[in-house]
Structure 1
Amino acid sequence: MSKKTSYLLGILLTIIIGTLLYCYLCDDCHCFPSGEEAIIEDTNSIVEPEVIPATRNAFTISDADGDFNIEINDNFNFKTSNFSILEPIATGVTSEVARLKDYLLANPLKDIDITGYYRSDETNNSAYPNLGLARANAVKNYLISQGVPSKQIDTHGQLNDDINPDDASTLFGPLKFGIVTFEEGATDEVLEAACEAIRKNPLVLYFKTGEAQISLTAKQRQMIADMSRCFDKLGVKVQVTGHTDNTGDADNNVVLGQQRADFAKSYLVRNGILDSNVEASSKGQTVPIADNNTEEGRTKNRRTVITIN
């Protein structure tokens, strides 16, 4: 090979290598034929969020031991973390509730069973152990207002994360209904035991001097749920009695005790216990349960006692 040929080959190789390096290092160069361009991952692409459709449960009730049946698309609706029924209630629901009332009145051995659903990410601001039970009790009170006997209504709460709200945080029909048939003369020994336990060990709420605020423990929430069943099934009344320590004027303490009792009653009513089922009164400073000469004793005397008759 001549020197000239070697020289030309060297120039050609230099051009090829330079071109390849240029294409490799240049981001904006188009060095590849159409259809053979290098694939570059787009890290800035927008991922659309998954759209979860709202759950819409129909108002459905069926009696396996009878010929009663309801199935309509409307239902009782709620906002998330809330137990108040959204208004207005659909006309179709109202009409079917009237049929349900007539059916239960004609069949006193049958109960309507209501299970309220709640999600694990909801906040429970009710007096009940969970929002599902609070929702079931809200529906129960509506049925009672429409003439359904409270003795023929059973309520429950159940966790259900498969119910999804819409974009406005509305839950459509987070409920399940059923008809239960009992035998003649059947008694609920568990309920009767729970009611008797409340009579022996009432729910006691304590207050700071001059204050009337309520904060319930899980055990106290369960007691309120039991009370609700007691007056629904057994026809008892809830009795709320306010007490104070001996700080200040005795007459003023009667007023303060009544304010605390009224506050507790209002709290119960806001949480689905019917006003007509709650009686509020005050004993002021006249029934101490501890020594008023000590701060510990006065703390115990500043109380509101909630029980059933």
Structure 2
Amino acid sequence: MAFFFRAASRARPSPQEFVRSIKESLLALDTKAGAKALEDVEKNISTLRQTLSGDGEVEPNQEQVLQIALEICKEGVLSLFVQNMPSLGWEGRKDLAHCWSILLRQKVDDVHCCVQYVENHVDLLDFLVVCYKNLEVALNCGNMLRECIKYPTLAKYILESSSFEFFFQYVELSNFDIASDALNTFKDLLTKHEAAVSEFLCSHYEQFFDLYTRLLTSTNYVTRRQSVKFLSEFLLEAPNVQIMKRYILEVSYLNIMIGLLKDTSKNIRICAFHIFKVFVANPSKPRDIIQVLVDNHRELLKLLHNLPTSKGTFVLSTSSLMPEMG
């Protein structure tokens, strides 16, 4: 019996052999009969998941995990993973997304080897973004994207790529689960890395808020609610104070908030109020902002009087809505 276990141990493939087997099975998806090729791939990915994360009883061998990550990068298997995601079954996609997160975390001399690979193959990020259009793989690819966004260089690429604009479409998709997942990814892009986001919004301010305005005025209730809620949180965060100061100078954005104060949804009205009050409280209001407040003060007072109470809501005085015209 002891001999059997020693023999089995010697028969275990090396990381190089294991990764080569995964690669060959993925490449075979285009050449072999579908069912058998797919079975081989999913079996390999299942084994990879167990190797990377353990089986619940035995912890993974970290040295082996790192070697596998290095080989996967060397052999270009990360690209094959992404490209073949749509071909996999439900369990295979789930296992692959799990493996992806572990692989991205592997470091050699303080360098995330798989993150570096993706940096050099940014088309993979574009592919993952576009996969939100594919009902079968959207949620898996969303998980993989959020793992990528944890790393500043990858998040920065997505923000500055043409693919980023797709998120303004995805958050309005008719499939609620996919739209919500896309919104989570969108939020991560705008909150995980302050410096990259600040740089992006400073250089793409008009383009970004033109697109975001469409969400705030969407006919889709869920889109309006989620977008105004996120904006009310985002603008009031300390790192975004410069963006907020710029936003509250725009009379068109004030008019949007006034419109949202009339929404039939209590939650939308409360979130809109938290943005509206910053326009009012600004001690350096532009003349056109003051004019809108003066022209609409009766209606605004009525709207605020009927505003549902919530934690953090405060009453704006009549004088604050009727500032002196300079």
Greater helix fraction, Structure 1 or Structure 2: 2
TM-score normalised by the chain length of structure 1: 0.27
Greater strand fraction, Structure 1 or Structure 2: 1
